Structure 1
Amino acid sequence: MKIFDLVRPGRSIIRPQAESRMEYGPLLLLHDLAMYFADANLALHLFDEAQTAQQEFAAYEYSGVAREDTRKEVMPAVPGCMLNRAPHMHSRSFLYALDNIHNYLQILSKMAGVPPAITDLKTEFEQVFGGNLKPVRNSAHHPEDRVRGLKTNEKPIDIQPSAFMAFGSDTTSVHTGSIGGPGIANEVLRNGNRYGGLLADGTYGEVEVSAATMAACQDVLQQVFDAFIWTNSDFDWVVYPYHVAIMGKEQVAAYANAIKKTVVPS
């Protein structure tokens, strides 16, 4: 199993004063970002394992050389139909974990006092998926609509030619030929690891379930973590506006470093 880790530069962060005592600080969101990133990492591992099991089962089924007396030894413990569904299940888990990360980045980028770079990093995260992450997630979450060729508001989808062209012999699907014409599918895995389907705008969209996707997300999220000023104390440091106004951000960080309670990213 390949592990994609995130380096947390400290235990807590220096942040501006919260507008309300009930306001959740960015540290909580950063904690959850790391949690959902771990979910995506695990989902990718389970996806790869499921694909291997599926391929081994297919090789056995079509080999024609297995003897009856060895069948129980090589046959999987679960039916083939379940093995065939496992890659789809884990690819959806991968997709949902990444969508959760995107939602957290959207909220984090709008919080008062967070580093300005967070907004650009949110955009960079979106560009990893070419704008497909949210639309593909929406379709995955509403298969009862997509399989009927409908948007979530029950309006019909104007299916585009590109959606028909997306489905070929390298595709495994749940439903084919059921909406708008032959070749349209509700949920597919193209080329083995591209999870996709019909989108609400009538086009086809997909997200690659791969180590390359994880690495690209890892790069963006590490920059998100590094954008904050971290401290090794047990609690968030609340920096009041007048402190920043008088001292400036660099001076606040220098003071925190001087008393050996912070780690400031380079």
Structure 2
Amino acid sequence: MFIVELTYPGTWLDYEDDEWSWEMRKLVQMLENPLTEACLALALFEQQRAKPRDKPDREQWEEDSNRRREIEKELEAELNVDPFDPEDRQELYSSVERELRLEKWESGELPKQYSHRLIFMHAKSFLFAVDRIEKILGAIAEKDGVPDEVVEAKDAFEDIFPDLRGVRNTVAHIEDRGRGLDHRKEDLDLKPVQNRLVNAPGGGALILESLNGNEFGSTMSDGHYGEVEISLENIVKVCECIQNVIDALEWSGPQMHYPR
């Protein structure tokens, strides 16, 4: 796991307005938690991405088949199954499958639907972490008296993730986007999409929570398909933006370092 670092030139901000200094220092240090979460989400995302895809395993298939037969024999007597009654046979089959699944889950094996969603969960954790960073940077840049370098750092961050807000809003309002509605709850005008997963040059494709390599994407409220790249390269750029904000301010006292 790659750990990013920040250096504070001092412990407190050195400005005449104490209230301004206190609020600014609080905002700057608020960036640490979402930066930490973005790093952790990236590590967990890459961990899931590196796992080999499930492939047919003959040994496991044979083991499951044998266990099915054992469970079937146990349940036939318990359920008093009529071997010539289709409904009885179907009930037996369903009971055997459920019993086998329960045994697997109790042994620690995740259901496929659970394991499949893990990488999406980490992708969304990354998305919301960097979204929080963007919002905090925006609040910092809006304060009166901030140096120009702070605004430049905020703008540089937005250049890293140009589709961040649109993708994040779709994830947060999946109930609307999933029905083909924009932020006004009007019908989406779906724009053309062409990538490795979708080829819709004429538009009309609604895409929700898609992973294209390390790009997490969704159709945004304006009908365009947007993506957010989940990568170490982007984490490094984010860290540089935050460090530039820190360095643009006047500090006093002993240096501080992140993480501790």
Question: What's the TM-score, normalizing by structure 2?
Answer: 0.73
- Relative distance call for 1:166 and 1:197 in structure 2 (3 A) is farther
Instruction: State the shift of 1:46 in Å.
Output: 1.6
Q: Which residue of 1 aligns with 2:56?
A: 62
Instruction: State the shift of 1:68 in Å.
Output: 4.5
Task: For structure 1, list consecutive stretches of 5 or more residues without a partner in the other structure.
Answer: 172-176, 233-260
Query: For the Cα contact (< 8 Å) 2:48–2:119, is it kept in 1?
Result: yes
Q: Encode CA deviations 1:95-153: one digit per residue, 9 max, x unaligned.
A: 11111111111111111222221111111110112x21111111111111111111122
What SS does the aligned partner of 1:200 have?
coil
Instruction: State the shift of 1:85 in Å.
Output: 0.4
Q: Which residue of 2 aligns with 1:87?
A: 119
| Alpha-carbon separation, structure 2, partners of 1:231 and 1:22 | 15
Q: Encode CA deviations 1:50-75: one digit per residue, 9 max, x unaligned.
A: 333xx33x33x434454655997xx9
What SS does the aligned partner of 1:39 have?
helix
Stretch deviating more after TM superposition (43-52 or 218-227): 43-52
| Alpha-carbon separation, structure 1, partners of 2:16 and 2:159 | 29
Stretch deviating more after TM superposition (87-96 or 75-84): 75-84
Query: For the Cα contact (< 8 Å) 2:37–2:129, is it kept in 1?
Result: yes
Does residue 1:223 correspond to 2:244, yes or no? yes
More helix by share: 2
Identity of aligned residues (%): 31
Q: Encode CA deviations 1:156-211: one digit per residue, 9 max, x unaligned.
A: 1101113xx24627x9xxxxx9xx85x532110012x1100101111100001111
Q: Encode CA deviations 1:23-71: one digit per residue, 9 max, x unaligned.
A: 961100111112211111111112122333xx33x33x43445465599
Query: For the Cα contact (< 8 Å) 1:149–1:156, is it kept in 2?
Result: yes
- Relative distance call for 1:194 and 1:225 in structure 2 (3 A) is same
Report the AA paired with residue 170 of structure 2: S
Q: Which residue of 2 aligns with 1:145?
A: 176
Q: Which residue of 2 aligns with 1:135?
A: 166
Question: What's the TM-score, normalizing by structure 1?
Answer: 0.72
Q: Which residue of 2 aligns with 1:241?
A: none
What SS does the aligned partner of 1:197 have?
strand
Q: Which residue of 2 aligns with 1:40?
A: 38
Q: Which residue of 1 aligns with 2:7?
A: 7
| Alpha-carbon separation, structure 2, partners of 1:147 and 1:186 | 7
What SS does the aligned partner of 1:205 have?
strand
- Structure possessing the higher radius of gyration over alpha carbons: 2
Query: For the Cα contact (< 8 Å) 1:15–1:113, is it kept in 2?
Result: no
Instruction: State the shift of 1:81 in Å.
Output: 1.1
Query: For the Cα contact (< 8 Å) 2:164–2:228, is it kept in 1?
Result: yes
Report the AA paired with residue 190 of structure 1: N
- Relative distance call for 1:118 and 1:16 in structure 2 (3 A) is farther
Query: For the Cα contact (< 8 Å) 1:139–1:198, is it kept in 2?
Result: yes
Task: For structure 2, list consecutive stretches of 5 or more residues without a partner in the other structure.
Answer: 68-103
Q: How does 1:1-266 map to 2 (within 5 A)?
A: 1-17=1-17, 25-52=23-50, 55-56=51-52, 58-59=53-54, 61-66=55-60, 68=62, 77-129=109-161, 131-162=162-193, 165-166=194-195, 168=197, 181=204, 183-191=205-213, 193-232=214-253
